[in-house]
């Protein structure tokens, strides 16, 4: 039997084969891998290089936001200090606006409105104290004299002197309560009723110094609190009677989408400079002091609050008879 001899490949052949296969692999895989590796390095380098500005921007933005936050906090601290100074002082004040962000600027605006309201309320409290002090002082003086000289005190005479002070106190307390109720809207429930009928009833119940002429249409209906509208008309009539010479006129009619209630007199009228001021609380014009009576200075302020509470308005103008004409407007019922 024959013996087959197999020749083992030489190392050169193996190396050449490996080289050829390696070359093939390089042509297909390793070569492409080398190329992709270079591209990957380039891409990574580009990302790093391109990322540096982004990182810088982010860092800058973060620092800017932090600085802005500190600035806002400093501004809020300054506002708090200003509020504390205003609160500790007796005089009114306001916060000076600056170049603030919109949110801070809106806060400053609202705070200034609140400070104005508080200043008005502070003045109102002072006015109330002053107005109440006068009748209370008169009462105390009369009672002190009665105690010092009981044998010389005539009770009917003393009562006659004290009753006007009591009437004034009662009128003031009633007006203050009405004003407080009208401002919070708790004076009563709204109803649909005829404003012309309300005016006829109010006028018919009065016994005034000057005759009242009523010109009222029909079907002038409003959605309102009847007691408040009645009080507003009574206040306007009391004011007109205080300043009228001979006549007072009341007019009720429709005008566009409003119900119009006007009260006119033939007195001296209201000067232009005082036509807004007279609706402030405790404001009186010394036009006819002899007929001023025990007025509290709150009637027109209450009437304005009632008008605003019903979505209406009130203003004063010249009347055809030369005096003042107060015009109250209320929305007509739908």
| Weakest-pLDDT range from 146-155, 186-195, 209-218 | 186-195
Residue 150 has pLDDT above 50, yes or no: yes
Average per-residue pLDDT for the chain: 76
Q: What DSSP string describes 166-224?
A: HHHHHHHHHHHHHHHHHHHT-S---EEEEHHHHHHHHHHT---SS-EEEEE-S--EEEE
Which of 62-66, 91-95, 188-192 is the most confident on average?
Answer: 188-192
For range 62-74, the mean pLDDT: 67
Residue 17 has pLDDT above 60, yes or no: no
For range 178-186, the mean pLDDT: 63
Query: Greater confidence, 62 or 322?
Result: 322
Residue 115 has pLDDT above 90, yes or no: no
Where helices occur in the chain by DSSP H, the ranges are: 11-25, 31-88, 102-148, 155-184, 195-204, 226-243, 299-309
10 Å CB burial of residue 230 (0-12, 13-18, 19+) is middle
Sign of the CA dihedral running 215, 216, 217, 222: positive
- 272-297 per-position pLDDT tens digit: 888 888 888 777 666 554 555 556 67
What confidence score (pLDDT) does residue 261 get?
Answer: 96
- 116-130 per-position pLDDT tens digit: 767 766 766 776 777
The rounded distance, in Å, linking the Cα atoms of 182 and 309 is 7
Query: Greater confidence, 94 or 233?
Result: 233
- 128-145 per-position pLDDT tens digit: 777 788 888 889 999 998
Residue 222 has pLDDT above 80, yes or no: yes
For range 1-18, the mean pLDDT: 44
Residue 18 has pLDDT above 60, yes or no: no
| Weakest-pLDDT range from 9-23, 74-88, 196-210 | 9-23
Sign of the CA dihedral running 73, 75, 80, 84: positive
10 Å CB burial of residue 231 (0-12, 13-18, 19+) is buried
Distances (CA, A) of 70 to 57, 102, 106, 165, 317: 20, 16, 19, 60, 54
Which of 147-156, 179-188, 277-286 is the most confident on average?
Answer: 147-156
H or E element that contains 255: strand 248-255
The rounded distance, in Å, linking the Cα atoms of 94 and 113 is 9
**What pTM, to 2 d.p., does this model score?**
0.58
Residue 38 has pLDDT above 90, yes or no: no
Distances (CA, A) of 269 to 266, 302, 319: 8, 20, 8
Residue 317 has pLDDT above 90, yes or no: yes
For range 293-305, the mean pLDDT: 78
What confidence score (pLDDT) does residue 106 get?
Answer: 84
Residue 224, phi then psi, degrees to nearest 5 = -155, 175
Category of 68 on φ-ψ map: left (φ > 0), alpha (ψ -120 to 50) or beta: alpha
């Amino acid at each position: 039997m024959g013996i087959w001899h197999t020749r083992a490949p030489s190392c050169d052949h193996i190396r050449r084969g490996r080289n050829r296969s390696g070359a093939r692999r390089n042509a297909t895989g390793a070569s492409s891998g080398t190329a992709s590796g270079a591209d990957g390095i380039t891409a990574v380098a580009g990302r790093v290089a391109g990322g540096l500005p982004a990182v810088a921007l982010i860092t800058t933005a973060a620092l800017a936001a932090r600085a802005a936050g500190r600035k806002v906090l400093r501004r809020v601290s300054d506002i708090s200090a200003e509020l504390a100074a205003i609160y500790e002082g007796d005089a009114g004040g306001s916060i000076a606006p600056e170049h603030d962000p919109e949110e801070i600027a809106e806060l400053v605006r609202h705070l200034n409105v609140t400070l104005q309201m508080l200043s008005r309320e502070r003045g109102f409290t002072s006015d109330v104290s002053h107005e109440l002090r006068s009748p209370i002082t008169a009462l105390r003086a009369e009672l002190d004299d009665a105690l010092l000289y009981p044998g010389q005190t005539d009770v009917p005479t003393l009562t006659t002197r004290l009753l006007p002070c009591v009437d004034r106190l009662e009128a003031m307390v009633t007006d203050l309560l009405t004003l407080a109720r009208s401002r919070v809207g708790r004076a009563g429930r709204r109803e649909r009723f005829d404003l012309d009928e309300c005016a006829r009833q109010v006028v018919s119940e009065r016994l005034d110094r000057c005759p009242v002429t009523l010109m009222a249409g029909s079907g002038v209906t409003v959605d309102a609190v009847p007691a408040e509208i009645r009080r507003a008309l009574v206040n306007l009539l009391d004011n007109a009677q205080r300043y009228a010479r001979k006549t007072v006129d009341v007019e009720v009619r429709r005008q566009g989408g409003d119900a119009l209630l006007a009260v006119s007199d033939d007195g001296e009228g209201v000067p232009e400079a005082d036509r807004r001021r007279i609706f402030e609380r405790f404001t009186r014009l010394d036009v006819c002091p002899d007929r001023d009576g025990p007025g509290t200075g709150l009637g027109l302020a209450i009437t304005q609050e009632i008008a605003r509470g019903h979505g209406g308005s009130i203003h004063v103008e010249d009347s055809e008879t030369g005096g003042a004409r107060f015009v109250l407007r209320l929305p007509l019922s739908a």
